[in-house]
Amino acid sequence: MPLPRGLPVVDHHCHLSPRGESVRAVERFRAAGGTHLFLATQNYEATFPLSLDTYARQFETTVRLAEKVHDEVGVRVYPVVAPYPIDLVGASARLGATAALELHRNALDLAGRYVREKKAVAIGEVGRPHFEVRPEVAAIVEQAFRHALEVARDVDCPVVVHSVDLTAAGFLELAERAREVGLRPGRVIKHYTRTPVAPESRGAVVPSYLARRDLVREVSASPGPWFLETDFLDDPNRPGVVLDLATVPRRAAAVLAQDAEHGAERLYVPFVESVERVYGWRPEVDSEGSAI
Ligand SMILES: [Zn+2]
């Protein structure tokens, strides 16, 4: 079943690398019916950043990739930038905890400037490593996370959180962290969510669900806001460890095929309504089905 013409089809979290498939992967996304991508930055170099210049170079690469994809494929790309929380693990071993935290805070401030200058739409990924870290690292992780929430509050944008998979208690804890600094919990997105959490149990924090077939089936009728994502990594050395970039449009087509009557309405929730509620604007497509 073809996707409805006026419907944007949005992958809310992916990565692209100049050394990976890059534009070719987005061509596959476009061919499957995809129109808009949220592109999270990543470390494009051999080691984690140890200077603010390296972060600046990294964010610039993400923004340039977004423009290149739009120019060459016509897919609209929204950059999301921040220092990766796991950078603190390596940086603290090399620079010491204090200097690593200082660098991280400066990189978060830089990410905030990108949002203010409209070169990025959100701060992310921020949060906590998905594995156990030494207590002194755990302490700076918390301080860095708090600063990330403050930056989002100050520039008035969403934050995209990296962490272990969360239950309702974890969602409520995130909401609490946001409220502590005066950030609206509805601006907090838990990326790579694999466990559906009922809307009344997540304290307004927004899940971005991994677009696995079973999960999409489980959440597709639930009220928003929520998103779908692949977390595509664009790493030619690790094929198949994550979902392919064509997955979200394919799942959208499956939702429509399953429920011709309500499918489009359901897809409107993650692709339009949720973007509007969390980010404040809506992705749009023209009469040809291309991103505007
Ligand atoms: Zn990611």
In whole angstroms, what separates CA 126 from the centre of its chain? Answer: 10
| pLDDT tens profile 72-104 | 999 999 999 999 999 999 999 999 999 999 999
Q: For residue 39, which of 245, 292, 279, 196 has the smallest C-alpha distance?
A: 245
Cα(13) to centroid(ligand 1), Å = 6
**Ligand 1 is an ion; residues with CB less than 5 A from it:** 40, 231
Cα(16) to centroid(ligand 1), Å = 10
Cα(77) to centroid(ligand 1), Å = 15
Paired residues of 190 in beta bridges: 161, 207
Cα(65) to centroid(ligand 1), Å = 16
Q: Distance (Å, rounded) from C-alpha 153 to C-alpha 30?
A: 34
pLDDT of residue 238: 79
| pLDDT tens profile 203-261 | 999 999 999 999 999 999 999 999 999 999 998 787 777 899 999 999 999 999 998 88
> What predicted TM-score, i.e. pTM, was given to this entire model?
0.96
Cα(229) to centroid(ligand 1), Å = 9
Percentage of residues in the chain with pLDDT exceeding 90? 91
Cα(262) to centroid(ligand 1), Å = 31
Cα(261) to centroid(ligand 1), Å = 33
292 pLDDT band (50/70/90 cuts)? confident
Q: Distance (Å, rounded) from C-alpha 29 to C-alpha 37?
A: 9
Cα(15) to centroid(ligand 1), Å = 6
Cα(136) to centroid(ligand 1), Å = 25
The residue-averaged pLDDT of 42-49 equals 94
**Which strands sit side by side in the sheet containing 227-229, from one edge to the other?**
10-14, 36-40, 76-81, 122-127, 159-162, 188-193, 206-210, 227-229
Cα(192) to centroid(ligand 1), Å = 8
Spatial neighbors of 191 by CB under 8 A, at least 6 apart, are: 12, 13, 40, 124, 125, 160, 161, 162, 208, 229, 231
